[in-house]
A = this chain, B = another copy of it.
């Protein structure tokens, strides 16, 4: 059993095992930490090597360029960051009435993302920070969103609209408001005011209530 198991798990694509030598795992771990702390552009490969306890040349054995190293972190994790829906349960369960309301669905989505962000905060920082600078990353994220999230999300919304549970706005607007509200809470909680006193359960329920009242069917 591997001490870097969480990394192996995180980097899996389609649940296929990924093989990482011990040094390679240490490089990735160090890179994640430092890119999150100082940003990609301000982090040097020599610093990464030092923190990983590895010769600088070793980094370039595994990754042709520094940018390749960044993408080796970002690309295989995009799906896990932006498409929780692929944690299969989600969509299926909605239509199998696992969730009897949009609210229950939102609650599950929110708790799922809350735990993910809490567990992988440095990775989230990297996404948040580097998306602004690397067009490829932004494009990959949008592609994954369109392919794996958008249509399913839309169908869920239309399902609950048909049931008269939520307001008859365009699905795009509802998606935007839902994501904005959840992401806004998570960023405030973990990036803007991580040192505040948070009653997470309470604040999530308030946020869900706010979202549901904002999206409630109007008479």
Contacts and interface: CB of A to CB of B under 8 A. Distances in A.
Interface of A: 38-39, 41-42, 125, 128-129, 132-133, 169, 173, 176-177, 180-181, 183-185, 188, 191, 203, 206-207, 210-211, 213-216, 218
B133 A38 contact: yes
A42 B133 contact: yes
30 contacts: A38-B133, A39-B39, A39-B132, A125-B132, A129-B129, A129-B132, A129-B133, A132-B191, A173-B206, A176-B184, A176-B185, A177-B181, A177-B207, A177-B210, A180-B180, A180-B181, A180-B184, A180-B185, A180-B188, A181-B181, A181-B184, A183-B184, A184-B184, A210-B214, A210-B215, A211-B214, A213-B213, A213-B214, A213-B216, A214-B214
Main secondary structure of the interface of A (DSSP, over half): helix
Contacts of A185: 176, 180
Contacts of A184: 176, 180-181, 183-184
Given A180-B181, A181-B184, A203 B173 contact: yes
A184 B185 CA distance: 10
A153 to B, nearest CB: 15
B206 A169 contact: yes
A90 to B, nearest CB: 22
A211 to B, nearest CB: 7
Contacts of A129: 129, 132-133
A181 to B, nearest CB: 7
Nearest to A125: B132
A175 to B, nearest CB: 10
Contact of A41 (B41, B169, B191, B214): B41
A183 B177 CA distance: 11
Nearest to A212: B214
| A133, A214, A218 pick with most chain B CB within 10 angstroms | A214
A207 B129 CA distance: 26
Contacts of A42: 41, 133
